[in-house]
Structure 1
Amino acid sequence: MTEPTPEASGSGEPPSKNALKKAQKEKEKAEKKAAAKARELAERQKKEADDAADVSVDSYGELPLIGSKDFKPTGKPRVDLADIEKLEDTEITFRCWVENARVQSAKLAFLNLRQGLNTVQAVVAASDKLSKQMVKFCGNVSTESTLAVTGLVKKVKEPIKSASIKDFEIHITALFIEVKAEVPLPLQVEDAERPLPSEGLGDEDEKASETGDARPLVGLNTRLNNRTLDLRAKINHAIFVIKSGVCALFQEFLSQKGFILIHTPKILGAASEGGANVFELKYFDRPAYLAQSPQFYKQMLIASRFQKVMEIGPVFRAENSNTARHLTEFTGLDLEMEFQENYHEVMSVLEDLMLFIFKELNSRYEKETELVRSAYHVEEFKLPESGKVPRIPFTEGIQMLRDAGEELGDYDDLTTPQEKHLGRLVLEKYNSDFYVLDQFPLAIRPAYTMPSPANPLLSNSYDMFMRGQEILSGAQRIHNADLLAEMMRKHDPPVDPNGLGTKDYVECFRYGCPPHGGGGFGLERIVQFWLGLPNIRMCSLFPRDPQRVIP
């Protein structure tokens, strides 16, 4: 560009210094723009040349969103990594996600790939058939991205410590991103694999302590606030595989005993069982309530000539209990059954049910149990033999605690610390983490509990415990309408047998009902105490407590 002359500027005076500076800047700007365009063109040409020379150009990349665009399926069968030992030297295709990806050099990258509870090391190595561009792409895939991978299964000389599959690795020949994970993640899944900072509620996770490897421990609240990421942790998958297993084993055992699976209402027209600790909701133009338990309906079905019933369903308790073992919504495992002559017949079924569940968890879910316990370093659950479950009369349990230094009355309810203390005493005396307390004081049981014939201040009721903490409350139920109405009126607080939520229940016993009993387990507690977990919220997919109703 030439500088303007006086004539060109329309003035007889020479241009000012500012005008010269401005012209110079314009010139530099134009030159920079031209240089940038030249670089962009050169880079594009280089990329096109590289792509043309990329022998792997059709073996990696990001796929269109499946289902949203035309996409021609490959038709390749997908493999489960659990079967990898049978596939040595075979090329396989499988879906997985990325735990970790790293570029080792221009010609080598490593990935840790996960499918379910299985993880495998994968290698991407440049060669005549695999390009450096593919190595770079694979080594930079974002953590948690979902992939479709094809590769050769190769046996390794030394066990791989960083993967659950230790004797084999995948030599990748094709890798496509099906769904790319956005980064940074609000929670690292590897941090969710580690134990909680403490045995508290995790409410102070912002102040989480540091470990020796300088990574901050992530508290429970942070994990629950990012639950979908937290649930990706292998330890959490194992917890819920076990939880599913408990339900399946519960039904398997009881079905073999002739129990029928039932489903009772969870929306009630009136608050039952005394009306305390219930959630009220608006039901069209009137109030309704969430069920505290299926108790009344279980008994009404026994009166309806269903001899044995079981249910797995939600239970709602409006208790403002912010502890490590309480939820406001949990899953109840309930059963009710006729007995012939003594309510201990029911207790025997319940004991054998739990022994079956424990033993089958040990055999069928050994891998998942060991995975979780390895993080929390919990002692193996001590099991008694069938018919030898410790049945401790409540009065004897009181005496054991007194002998150990506790101060409590003959008919006092046990506090949580006292329950745990008794659990340690029972373990020491009977070598069992599972036991039953029988004949509880009548005053601390529901109004429908049958009084004890041996002592009118006691009742034909029982609780079951794991590691010193209650998992079941059960009893013989009153099956005579007049006695039931009398006991309801005497109860503290009194219950009206003619009330809206109780009248139909009481009246059903006027038409003849056999003696019966049962109990209700808390599913999450069984899982928590079996695995030795510090907080029950870990056993609920999306837990509900007094402080949490989302996500």
Structure 2
Amino acid sequence: MTEPAPAAGASSTGDAPPPVDENGVPLTKNALKKLQKDKEKAEKKAAAAAKELAIRQQKAAADAADVSKEDYGELPLIGSKDFKPTNTPRVDLSNIADFEDKEVTFRCWVENARVQSAKLAFLNLRQGLNTVQAVVAASEKLSKQMVKFSGSVSTESTIVVTGEIKRVKEQIKSASIKDFEVHIKRLFVEVKADSPMPLQVEDAERPLPSDGVGDEEEPQQTEAGARPLVSLNVRLNNRTLDLRAKINHSIFVIKSGVCALFQEFLSQKGFTLIHTPKILGAASEGGANVFELKYFDRPAYLAQSPQFYKQMLIASRFQKVMEIGPVFRAENSNTARHLTEFTGLDLEMEFQENYHEVMGVLEDLMLFIFKELKARYKKETDLVRSAYHVDEFKLPESGKVPRIPFTEGIKMLREAGEELGDYDDLSTPQEKHLGRLVLEKYGSDFYTLDQFPLAIRPAYTFPSPADPLLSNSYDMFMRGQEICSGAQRIHDAALLTKMMIAHDPPIDPMGAGTKDYVESFKYGCPPHGGGGFGLERIVQFWLGLPNIRMCSLFPRDPNRVVP
């Protein structure tokens, strides 16, 4: 008897029929492969979900067992929630010795954080110019989770720390506070810093590779294994980060100190603090090197100096005036000691018999500033000079500042091999050379050069009675570089008019920028003189810095007007 043939689509071996789609049509090989892949994906997804759930459960269990869960973490932005005072006093690390074996709370930021092991992390914390080592160690009261969190806080994050101050057996080399460390009990991040940063603050602590005048935009690599030297341009382009460096903080603490000392000394001498206009309706002092700006519907100019106004105030019966303010010079000078905007320390005063009375006040002023910088700002000075090595600034005694006639300075330079005429202006290299000669001969880094040639001074400078080609004018120098220019001023309208017309180039005494100035002397003005210091130069030469831009928070030069 013959067996019936198998039905269409049925297996002759008794296997299960092949898979079909919803319409009963057998699936193709490609469709079968896709079906298999989808199945595998679903299985992997389910496995991953199960793993993630297990991790969450494990973390939840760990969190539940975290004895420090209330003692660390990231805080909401201050101001974003209702304020609830903690009444916890905050301390200053500069007084850390007062808190030995005591628990303190303080705000700081992270210079460095690292996990040493699952139970130990170290942080370098900074507050102002002070740095301290902090330890986070796991114990029955401090969890491994807190150790891990603390050691992973990003550099430059702002944190609030509570910890116990402990004296160490061996001095800590990596922090400015050598004899104490903080044993952290609580740590909260107030503001988290993004990473990576365009400039590492620790790179800004290293000295510049050069004077920084060039156009380098990339870090300059040093020898193998060493960190790169970051150029000044890179630092200035990221100035907010650059200014965080302890060296930069010290520079500007000292700069602030020079201003305070300037006012302190002159106030005791009876000087009145003034504030003169910086927007002028017409270019003054000959009109050269001024910045023009649009002032409503007409042009105006930024002041080159407060000179005219200082003198007009002397004519107004103010006997002694001083000012600290911005000065604008449109000079295309791309050197290490020039800025287009700098801070001027200016003074003007009536004198009794001779303009050397003014020189004496200026010299004693600078001696006071130098001596008080050494006394009051030694910490900051030493910190900067530890990177920018410079010889100690040598000072003369009061009344013994070397006053060198210009003709004698020319003679000293000639004897040392320089070639220059009797009435030639000194170049920067010649000024530095003279500074070395003066230091060798007189033992002083600070000196005055007196009786400059009339032709190289402003038109309002009083001519010298000793030589019609010289003038009653002077410059003051630090380490052979000019910091101050001053003179006896012409206080007679007729003589001033004559000298302005004879000046090269001539100046119109009845011009828009000079008429009021000249006429102020028609009604009687006492003999007077003064000087103007460049604040940034004083700081630069005191500290031995290679570039004046380091002494301006946000410097302006021919190529830079941002940030």
**TM-score (structure 2 length as normaliser):** 0.96
Describe the shift of the 1:21–1:7 C-alpha distance in structure 2 as closer, same or farther (beyond 3 A).
Answer: closer
- Name the counterpart of 1:191: 203
1:401 maps to 2:413: yes
Deviation for aligned residue 1:75: 1.7
CA contact (8 A) 2:212 2:232 kept: no
Matches within 5 A, 1:142-181: 142-181=154-193
Matches within 5 A, 1:486-505: 486-505=498-517
Query: Which of 371, 377, 384 is matched with 2:396 structurally?
Result: 384
Query: Which of 42, 45, 51 is matched with 1:33 structurally?
Result: 45
Deviation for aligned residue 1:367: 0.4
Deviation for aligned residue 1:287: 0.2
Describe the shift of the 1:209–1:430 C-alpha distance in structure 2 as closer, same or farther (beyond 3 A).
Answer: farther
Query: Which of 541, 544, 557 is matched with 1:532 structurally?
Result: 544
Amino acid aligned to 2:23:
G
Deviation for aligned residue 1:74: 1.8
1:306 maps to 2:318: yes
CA contact (8 A) 2:476 2:483 kept: yes
CA contact (8 A) 1:97 1:115 kept: yes
Describe the shift of the 1:8–1:190 C-alpha distance in structure 2 as closer, same or farther (beyond 3 A).
Answer: closer
Partners of 2:257 and 2:219 in 1: CA distance: 36
Partners of 2:339 and 2:115 in 1: CA distance: 45
Matches within 5 A, 1:175-324: 175-206=187-218, 208-211=220-223, 213-324=225-336
Partners of 2:335 and 2:409 in 1: CA distance: 24
Partners of 2:259 and 2:238 in 1: CA distance: 26
Deviation for aligned residue 1:19: 1.1
Query: Which of 132, 145, 157 is matched with 2:144 structurally?
Result: 132
1:364 maps to 2:364: no
- Name the counterpart of 1:326: 338
CA contact (8 A) 1:189 1:229 kept: yes
- Name the counterpart of 2:118: 106
Describe the shift of the 1:4–1:424 C-alpha distance in structure 2 as closer, same or farther (beyond 3 A).
Answer: farther
1:410 maps to 2:422: yes
Deviation for aligned residue 1:36: 1.1
Deviation for aligned residue 1:417: 0.4
Partners of 1:71 and 1:106 in 2: CA distance: 35
Kindly provide the CA deviation profile for residues 438-458 of structure 1, in whole angstroms up to 9, marking residues without a partner as x. Answer: 000000000000000000000
1:509 maps to 2:526: no
Describe the shift of the 1:22–1:91 C-alpha distance in structure 2 as closer, same or farther (beyond 3 A).
Answer: same
Partners of 2:87 and 2:534 in 1: CA distance: 46
CA contact (8 A) 1:475 1:517 kept: yes
Partners of 2:459 and 2:442 in 1: CA distance: 33
- Name the counterpart of 1:80: 92
- Name the counterpart of 2:11: none
Amino acid aligned to 2:482:
E
CA contact (8 A) 2:21 2:27 kept: no
Deviation for aligned residue 1:272: 0.1
Amino acid aligned to 2:355:
Y
Partners of 1:156 and 1:42 in 2: CA distance: 44
Kindly provide the CA deviation profile for residues 338-381 of structure 1, in whole angstroms up to 9, marking residues without a partner as x. Answer: 00000000000000000000000000000000000010111110
Kindly provide the CA deviation profile for residues 65-122 of structure 1, in whole angstroms up to 9, marking residues without a partner as x. Answer: 0001235332211000001011100000000000000000000000000000000000
CA contact (8 A) 1:197 1:209 kept: no
1:462 maps to 2:477: no
CA contact (8 A) 1:281 1:289 kept: yes
Deviation for aligned residue 1:6: 5.8
Describe the shift of the 1:212–1:433 C-alpha distance in structure 2 as closer, same or farther (beyond 3 A).
Answer: farther
**TM-score (structure 1 length as normaliser):** 0.98
- Name the counterpart of 1:428: 440
- Name the counterpart of 2:23: 10
SS of corresponding position for 1:119: strand
SS of corresponding position for 2:161: strand
CA contact (8 A) 1:4 1:15 kept: no
Partners of 2:31 and 2:556 in 1: CA distance: 72
Partners of 2:234 and 2:263 in 1: CA distance: 35
1:352 maps to 2:364: yes
Deviation for aligned residue 1:436: 0.3
Describe the shift of the 1:501–1:11 C-alpha distance in structure 2 as closer, same or farther (beyond 3 A).
Answer: same
- Name the counterpart of 1:121: 133
Deviation for aligned residue 1:206: 2.2
Partners of 1:6 and 1:526 in 2: CA distance: 91
Deviation for aligned residue 1:209: 3.8
Amino acid aligned to 2:442:
Y
Query: Which of 381, 385, 390 is matched with 1:373 structurally?
Result: 385
Identity %: 84
- Name the counterpart of 1:21: 33
Partners of 2:103 and 2:131 in 1: CA distance: 17
Amino acid aligned to 1:285:
D
Partners of 2:131 and 2:108 in 1: CA distance: 9
Deviation for aligned residue 1:198: 1.4
- Name the counterpart of 2:13: none
CA contact (8 A) 1:271 1:278 kept: yes
Deviation for aligned residue 1:4: 8.3
Kindly provide the CA deviation profile for residues 151-184 of structure 1, in whole angstroms up to 9, marking residues without a partner as x. Answer: 0000000000000000000000000000000000
Deviation for aligned residue 1:208: 1.6
Amino acid aligned to 2:77:
L
Amino acid aligned to 1:48:
A
Q: Which protein has the larger Cα radius of gyration, Structure 1 or Structure 2?
A: 2
Per mean C-alpha deviation after superposition, the further-off stretch among 37-46 and 514-523 is 37-46
- Name the counterpart of 2:59: 47
Partners of 1:441 and 1:469 in 2: CA distance: 18
Deviation for aligned residue 1:284: 0.2
Describe the shift of the 1:212–1:522 C-alpha distance in structure 2 as closer, same or farther (beyond 3 A).
Answer: farther
Partners of 2:310 and 2:341 in 1: CA distance: 19
C-alpha RMSD over aligned residues: 1.1
- Name the counterpart of 1:440: 452
Per mean C-alpha deviation after superposition, the further-off stretch among 204-213 and 492-501 is 204-213
Aligned residues: 548
- Name the counterpart of 1:542: 554
Partners of 1:86 and 1:5 in 2: CA distance: 86
Q: Where does the alignment leave 5 or more consecutive residues of structure 2 unmatched?
A: 1-15
SS of corresponding position for 2:417: coil
